[in-house]
């Protein structure tokens, strides 16, 4: 039995496919849990993170549709908290059932997680993360006058609200997460990158209108709990260079300097594989013997048996 402490960052396809209903998402997480239990059966201690992009987007649309003086829409930090709670509940329940199927007695707990960001992060001046519905330019201008939000044109598809995407600095609940993990509990934390909060001059926390990249939040969590391994799950078994080209090449074992060279060549798509690779590099660089793996959920069994997937090491 390995007894490694592993942070597993779930990709979006582990929760939501084409059907956004609660039932379909719960079914997807049941399948996800059966794969994750392979790591538990291997003797590993898991801390699981997850995305929430489509879910918080759908919730935002519901809030906008129902917005009124008597029932005002809630702010973005609260929507992140709500989706942390709902997805955490679904995944917690799915993991408990999957463990029971395998005869494994182990607790599972979800932690609504506040991730501290720097109030002076340049991201608050350079709003870049699009959220919510598409508007015409006229609609966006009217909405901006009403709410003082910032809107930008999005790849020819219309105008969308943009918010800050600051870097995670610390995790408020890290002691609780660490204690739970050290006491043999499976922990679900930092969902959707966590709830973005800043500290004021008195040390009090306040939620902010922002979205934290889930891969960077997962990497920071992995650092803070002294994880032995950081696994980033995505839609493919391996990271590739020249992806979807005739000379496509999978990366099996790769060093940080090699990945940095590939980044300089623009090999990885921004907003897709690039943040996963950057988060893996940051984790490996931040640990004395850091190791990260990028692979698919379906490949977890092969990863346990034969180190399948893209393994990133210092070099």
- Residue 238 CB neighbours (<10 A): 18
Distance CA 93, CA 35 (A): 15
Tell me, yes or no, if 12 is annotated catalytic.
Answer: yes
Q: Which of 12, 107, 207, 286 is catalytic?
A: 12
DSSP bridge partners of 296: 234
Residues 6+ away with beta carbon under 8 Å from 264: none
Pairing of strands 159-163, 292-296: unpaired
Q: Which of 51, 88, 276, 309 is catalytic?
A: 276
> Do the beta carbons of residue 266 and residue 273 sit within 8 Å?
no
Tell me, yes or no, if 214 is annotated catalytic.
Answer: yes
Q: Which of 52, 132, 214, 291 is catalytic?
A: 214
Q: Which of 51, 52, 88, 129 is catalytic?
A: 129
Locate 89 and state its tokens.
């509940």
Nearest-5° angle of CA 158, CA 162, CA 168?
A: 145
Tell me, yes or no, if 199 is annotated catalytic.
Answer: no
Q: At residue 248, what are phi and psi to the nearest 5 degrees?
A: -55, 140
Sign of CA dihedral 116, 82, 77, 162: positive
Pairing of strands 168-171, 150-153: unpaired
Residue ranges of alpha helices (H) inside the chain are: 22-41, 53-66, 76-101, 137-147, 174-182, 214-224, 256-264, 273-286, 300-306
| Catalytic positions | 12-13, 129, 214, 276
């Amino acid at each position: 039995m390995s007894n490694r402490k592993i942070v597993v960052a779930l990709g979006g396809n582990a929760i939501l496919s084409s059907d956004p209903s609660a039932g379909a998402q719960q079914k997807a997480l049941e399948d996800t849990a059966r794969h994750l239990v392979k790591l538990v059966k291997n003797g590993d201690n898991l801390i699981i993170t997850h995305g929430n992009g489509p879910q918080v987007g759908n919730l935002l649309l519901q809030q906008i549709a129902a917005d009124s003086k008597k029932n005002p829409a809630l702010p973005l930090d609260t929507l992140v908290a709500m989706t942390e709670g709902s997805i955490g509940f679904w995944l917690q329940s799915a993991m408990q059932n999957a463990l029971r199927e395998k005869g494994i007695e182990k607790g599972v707990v979800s932690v609504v997680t506040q991730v501290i960001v720097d109030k002076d992060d340049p991201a608050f001046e350079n709003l870049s993360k699009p959220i919510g519905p598409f508007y015409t330019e006229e609609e966006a201008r009217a909405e901006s006058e009403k709410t003082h939000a910032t809107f930008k044109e999005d790849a020819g598809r219309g105008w969308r609200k943009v918010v800050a995407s600051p870097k995670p600095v610390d995790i408020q609940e890290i002691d609780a997460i660490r204690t739970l993990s050290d006491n043999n509990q499976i922990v679900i934390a930092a969902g959707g990158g966590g709830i973005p909060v800043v500290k004021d001059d008195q040390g009090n926390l306040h939620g902010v209108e922002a979205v934290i990249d889930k891969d960077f939040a997962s990497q920071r969590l992995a650092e803070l709990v002294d994880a032995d391994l950081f696994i980033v799950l995505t839609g493919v078994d391996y990271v590739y260079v020249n992806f979807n080209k005739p000379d496509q090449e999978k990366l099996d074992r790769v060093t940080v300097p090699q990945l940095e060279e590939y980044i300089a060549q623009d090999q990885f798509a921004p907003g897709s594989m690039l943040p996963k690779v950057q988060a893996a590099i940051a984790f490996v660089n931040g640990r004395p013997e850091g190791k990260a793996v990028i692979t698919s959920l379906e490949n977890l069994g092969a990863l346990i048996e034969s180190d399948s997937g893209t393994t990133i090491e210092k070099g």
